[in-house]
Amino acid sequence: VRPSLQDLRQQASIAAKVFVQRDYTTGTICQFQTKFPSELETRIDKQQFEETIRTLNNLYAEAEKLGGRSYLEGCLACVTAYTIFLCMETHYEKVLKKIAKYIQEQNDKIYAPRGLLLTDPIERGLRVVEITIFEDQSNGRIEGR
């Protein structure tokens, strides 16, 4: 659902972008750093931010979990010569959808009112969580992004 042109015109302009990097301390599993970026200090509570990131981390951990579900999926795929992928959605994709929904919900409820916007890390190859900081001016400039 793209915002209408009118919405775009009324969107605030981008002031800066913060990139929350991956946390590799426990390996290559998908985790993001919960360290609170300094640029956000004036815009959002630290707790709020950390909670968002932690939830995301948990969701990604769930996606990558080696459990019965993924094992079954693998067996089924093998048996059907991987044609099952044409009709079935993998576990990871399902969780990714959940994550996308979560991010959108966070944006709507928490981040947008504070002039921030989270970008789904999958768009960046799960390398960073991009947080866009908008200018706090009441001008109606078109978003420059």
Partner 1 sequence: MPPVSRGGAVGGPSSSPRSPPTSRPLRPGRYVPVSAAAAFLVGSTTLFFCFTCPWLAEHVSVAVPMYNGAVFLFVLANFCMATFMDPGVFPRADEDEDKEDDFRAPLYKTVEIRSIQVRMKWCSTCRFYRPPRCSHCSVCDNCVEEFDHHCPWVNNCIGRRNYRYFFLFLLSLTVHIMGVFGFGLLFVLHHTQHLDRLHAAVTMAVMCVAGLFFIPVAGLTGFHIVLVARGRTTNEQVTGKFRGGVNPFTNGCWRNVSHVLCSSQAPRYLGRQRRAPTALVRPPFLRPPLSEAQLAAKVLDNGIQGDLHLSKSSLEAESQSADADPPPPPKPELRYPALSRGQVSMGSTEESSLLNKAPPTPTMYKYRPAYSSPGKSRSGLAHSYSSKMNQGDGLKEVPSLLRSSQQSGYRSEPSLDGRDDDAADHSERERKAGGPGAAGGQAGGISGYSLGGHSYPSFSEPAVLSGGASRSSGVRSAHVAHNASGPLPPESMASASYKSLANQTPRNGSLSYDSLLTPSEGPDLGRAAPELSPGRRRPHPHAHPHTHPHPHPQARHAPLLGYSSPFLSAQIAQQREPELHQASSAPLSSPHKAYLRTGSPPPLPPPDPCRPPRFSRPALLSDSHPYAYRARSLGSQDPPRSPVSPAPAPRPPPLGKSLSYSSAAAAEMQFRLVRKASAGAGIQAPKDEVPVKSYGRANGQPGGARPPSPHRSASSPSSPSHPASPGQADRSSPSSHGPTPRQGGRVKKVTGVGGTTYEISV
- Which positions from 42 through 61 interact with partner 1, judged by CB under 8 A? 42-46
- As a whole number of angstroms, the distance between CA 33 and CA 52 comes to 11
Q: How far apart are CA 26 and CA 10, in angstroms?
A: 43
CB of 141 to partner 1, least distance (A): 11
Is residue 9 at the binding interface for partner 1, with CB under 8 A as the rule? no
Q: For partner 1, which residue of 52, 53, 91, 129 counts as binding (CB under 8 A)? A: 91
Among 50, 58, 69, 142, the residue binding partner 1 under the rule CB under 8 A is 69
- Answer for which of 53, 56, 117, 129 binds partner 1 (CB under 8 A) is 117
User: How far apart are CB 138 and partner 1 at their closest, in Å?
Assistant: 5
User: Residues in contact with partner 1, total (CB under 8 A)?
Assistant: 77
DSSP H helices in the chain:
5-10, 46-63, 68-79, 84-87, 91-106
Q: Residue 126: CA atoms inside 13 Å, Cβ hemisphere, count? A: 17
Regarding 141 and contact with partner 1 (CB under 8 A), the answer is: no
Residue 16: exposed, middle, or buried by beta-carbon count in 10 A (0-12, 13-18, 19+)?
exposed
